[in-house]
Structure 1
Amino acid sequence: MAKVHVLDIAFTHGGERHAISPVLIQDAQDTILVDCGYPEFVPLLQAAAEQHGTTLATVNRLIVTHHDMDHIGSLAELKRQYPHIEIVSHESEVPYLNGTRQSLRLTQALASYDELPASAKEQAEAFMNLLRAVEPAGVDRIVTSGERLPWCGGVEIIHTPGHMPGHISLYLPEQRTLIAGDAAVIEEGRLAIANPHYALDLAEAVMSVRRLLDYEIEELICYHGGRFEGNIREALLQLVDAYSIDYDEQQ
C-alpha cells in the first residue's frame, strides 16, 4: 500500500507565521506530489520530504489542485530542476497554469481594486504584483472528474469547484484518504470554507463539500491545517449545515 506523507511547512510572510501542507503519495513505482507552495519553496519542500526519508528527486508526478499562488508558485522551478516530473491538472485549470489566461485571483483583485480605501491599495498592488510574477508551467496530463489515475493504488479525481472553478480534490480508495486541497480548511480544529469572501462561487464551494460525503473517508488532509483530528463525516455535515443556515437567513 502506498504511503501518504503530509509535508507540514511553516514559514513567515508579512511578519506573520503561516503553514501549508502539500502531500507526498509514494509506493515502489511512483512518488506523487500534490501542490508545491509559493515561489522559491523548493528548498522547503526538499527539507520536508527528507524528514519523511525521501527526496524531491523521486517525484515523478505533480498534481495541481488549482492555480492559487500558494499551490503552484514553485511549479515551473520544480519542472526545470526535475524535467521528468509529469504535471497533472483539471482541464479547466490548464490555461491559467500555462499562462494563456490571466489568473482568476488576479482578475478578482483587479475588479475590487477601485473600491478599496486608499490605505489598502498599496498592499493590494503588492499582492497583484506577486500574482503577476508567478511563472507559468505547461501541463502534461489533463484529468476530468471521476477519473481514476492508476498510480499508488489508485487516485480518484473529484471536481470540487467553488474556491476556484477548476479546483480538484483527490481520493485514495486503498487508504480511504481524502486530500481536500482548499475545498475545506482547518481553523481552530474545525472544518471551514477556505476564505469564503474570496471564493469564486461560495454556494458551489458548499456543494463541493457536500459531494465529499459520498466517500468513505478515514483520513482528511487539508492544505491549510494538515490532518483533521475528529469525526470527519460529522465535521463535513456541520460545515454544510452551517452554510445552509446562513442561506436560509439571507432569504
Structure 2
Amino acid sequence: MNISNGVAMLELKIQQFVLNPTLIWDNETAVLIDAGMPGQWDLIRTAMAEAGVAFDKLKVVILTHQDLDHIGSLPEILNQAPHEIEVYAHKLDKPYIEGELHLMKTDPSRMNKEAWASVPEQLKPLYENPPKSKVNQTLEDGQVLPYCGGIQVIFTPGHTPGHISLYLEQSKTLVAGDALVCVDGKLRGPIEQTTPDMNTALQSITKLQNFDTQSIICYHGGLCHSNVKEQLKNIGVPYPFI
C-alpha cells in the first residue's frame, strides 16, 4: 500500500496475522524498515516489486528492534543482495540481533515449562536458533539518517530495551514499530503480553507526540491516518492481545 510518493507499507501475511514493514525510496536508494518472519523473503521481494521498487535498489535495512518477526528474513535478504546492505539498529538491541545474546522473548531458557509447551512445534527450532545478522551501524535518539529526505530516530524503549521508532521527515510519516498498535484505524498502546517494561513503553509514547505527523504505520495493524495527533495524546493503555 503506497502511503505517499516514495513511501509504501508492505503487507506480509503469516497465518491469520499481517506484518507491516515499511519501504521508502528515492531516485538512488531504497530503505526497508523491518524484515518480517524467517522465510518471507519472497513475499518482501514481491511487495517491493508491486510498489515499483527493484530489489537491487535496496541499500539499507533498519530494524526497529530485536524481535523474531522483525529480524526474520534479514539473513536471506543480505544473502541475496547483489551488493552490501547497511544494517542499522539501536545499540541496546545490537547484541541480540547479532546473536551474542539470545532474543529476549524467544529464549527457551527464560520460559517455564507451560510457556514452552504452548509454542507451536514448527516455531520451536526458530526459538532455539533464531536468525541473526551483523549490525553495521548503531543508532541514537535524535539522530537523522540522510536517506530519502531524512529519517529521524526516536528512542522508544519498553517493548525491548533498544526499541526505536522512525519519523520520515519528507512525508511526515511515523513508523512506530511495536511502540503502538493500530486496531480498526484506532491507535492503542503496545501489546501487553509482549512488552516486558510497560511503564517505560507508555512513557515512550509521549515522545511521539512531538512530531508533525500525518500518518502512522504500526507493524501490527498497519496504517492509521485519522486525526493521529489527537489520538497520540489520548493513548494511555496497552492493547490486550487476544
Fold-level similarity (TM above 0.5): yes
Q: What's the C-alpha RMSD, in Å, of the aligned pairs?
A: 1.9
Give, in whole Å, the separation in 1 of the partners of 2:51 and 2:5.
14
Give, in whole Å, the separation in 2 of the partners of 1:2 and 1:97.
31
Whether the 8 Å contact between 1:34 and 1:64 is mirrored in structure 2 is yes
Give CA deviations for 1:104-145 in whole Å, capped at 9, x if unaligned. Answer: 1134x643414x3xxx64223745532223221101111111
Q: Which of structures 1 and 2 has the bigger CA Rg?
A: 1
Structure 1 vs Structure 2: percent identity of aligned residues?
32
1:126-165 aligned within 5 A: 126=121, 127-165=123-161
Give CA deviations for 1:78-128 in whole Å, capped at 9, x if unaligned. Answer: 111114111111111111111011111134x643414x3xxx642237455
Secondary structure at the aligned position of 1:84 is classed as coil
Whether the 8 Å contact between 2:28 and 2:57 is mirrored in structure 1 is no
Whether the 8 Å contact between 1:8 and 1:21 is mirrored in structure 2 is yes
Aligned to 2:20: 21
Query: How many residue pairs get matched?
Result: 233
Aligned to 1:7: 10
Correspondence 1:190 to 2:186: yes
Tell me the TM-score normalised to structure 2 length.
0.90
Greater share of residues in helix: 1
Secondary structure at the aligned position of 1:124 is classed as coil
Offset at residue 157 of structure 1 (A): 0.5
Correspondence 1:175 to 2:171: yes
Give, in whole Å, the separation in 2 of the partners of 1:87 and 1:20.
20
Aligned to 1:122: 117
Offset at residue 229 of structure 1 (A): 3.4
Give CA deviations for 1:212-247 in whole Å, capped at 9, x if unaligned. Answer: 00111011111111110311012112212x46xxxx
**Of the candidates 162, 165, 171, which is equivalent to residue 166 of structure 1?**
162
Tell me the TM-score normalised to structure 1 length.
0.87
**Of the candidates 206, 212, 224, which is equivalent to residue 208 of structure 2?**
212
**Structure 2 segments unaligned to the other structure (5+ residues):** none
Offset at residue 186 of structure 1 (A): 0.8
Aligned to 1:246: none
